Amino acid sequence: MTKKMHVALFFGGNSSEHDVSKRSAHNIYDAMDKDKYDVSLFLMTKEGYLLSDTDSHRVFDGEDEDAVVKSVMPTVDASDPLANIANLGKIKDVDVFFPVIHGNLGEDGTIQGLFRLLQKPWVGSGILESAMAYDKDITKKMLDLYGVQNTKYVLLTPDNEGDYSYEKLAAQLGTRMFIKPANQGSSVGIHEVNNAEEYKDSLADAFRYDYKVLVEEAIQGPQELEISILGNEHPIASKLGAIRVPENDEFYTYENKFVDASEVHFDIPVDVSQKLADRITEMALTAYKGLGLKGMARIDFLVSKDDEPYLGEINTLPGFTNISLYPQLWNASGITYTELIDRLIELAIAEFNRRKQIHHDFTPLGKEKLSK
């Protein structure tokens, strides 16, 4: 009998997407072929502490997370600087890590750095690639470098925000604009702005989430299209999907995505011209390869009334909830949820083996080297 692969599923995190991550992890766990995989669970609490497999299962199976954390914390040695990851020592035989921590710590390269130190494969992109794609400012700079059309913007920080009034920005970007934290996901902290009062309040809220804030031009009457990418050096693209938000909402909000999606409609696949589909696919693959991404990404586009596509955002660890578009788009493209999980794990191992051939730091120190 073939030995099962041991997969460690990481979820939770200390970002605003904590609960979303828990739902994604449930779906991935349920879709995994248990004849192929033994799965350990590691819930990262909102405080950044990794629960053990046993305690993570307690939350997974329905216990109140706060109650579980409260019961565990008295056993933690707060003086140990590694206390928050101490439970990793209990799983020496893990074959591959599968992070589903959306947002901060999960998509920004942090957890990927931990996996690299542990010298194990992980699903998704590398440290630098994750960090670049997570930062909307850096992403846009890279998109410009590779000639991928995206919206105009002005970057604000606490040092320069006083130099920009609503009127000054409106002269550059138009009277209707969007304010976004540079490092945040799930539409958290994003605001539509149409006047000076909205600008002031929205900017203050966006700075709650990051010290860098983008003020972007608004595309008139946009259609939101999504595409899923899968692969390493030779990625493939799914069919396109579309999101139709409630009439009173100007964009796909956090509430639309995760709280109440009853009025959100998905067209999967969407009926668009072949010319537009080909152009978006080419732009998505160019961005994916230009940023050096691996494993997976969901890439969001805005299409103007005259069929001009603008790349909006790249998500390197997209959602896997019941209404998440990444797996839905692949299902519409002929890859089932379970097959998708298999492919992502295979890609993780392939990328690890590729890196191992060129990086000596992937070879653990043996007793011979330690004794010299």
The answer to whether 14 is annotated as binding is no
**Beta-carbon contacts of residue 264 (< 8 Å; ≥ 6 apart):** 243, 244, 245, 246, 252, 256, 257, 323
- Name the active-site residue from 16, 17, 24, 40: 17
Residue 218 amino acid letter: A
For the chain, the residue count is 372
Burial class (CB in 10 A: 0-12, 13-18, 19+), 51: buried
The answer to whether 278 is annotated as binding is no
Q: Is 189 helix (H, G, I), strand (E, B) or coil?
A: coil
**Beta-carbon contacts of residue 43 (< 8 Å; ≥ 6 apart):** 11, 12, 22, 50, 51, 55, 56, 59, 60, 65
- Name the active-site residue from 24, 186, 238, 333: 186
Does residue 304 carry a catalytic annotation? no
**Angle subtended at Cα 72 by Cα 68 and Cα 78, rounded to the nearest 5 degrees:** 140
Does residue 324 carry a catalytic annotation? yes
Q: Is 214 within 8 Å of 180 (Cβ atoms)? A: yes
Output the CA–CA distances (angstroms, integers) from residue 169 to 108, 125, 136, 183, 216, in the order listed.
29, 35, 18, 21, 9
Q: Is 87 helix (H, G, I), strand (E, B) or coil?
A: helix
Does residue 17 carry a catalytic annotation? yes
Binding residues: 300, 313, 315
Known binding residues for Mg(2+) are 300, 313, 315
Active site residues: 17, 186, 324
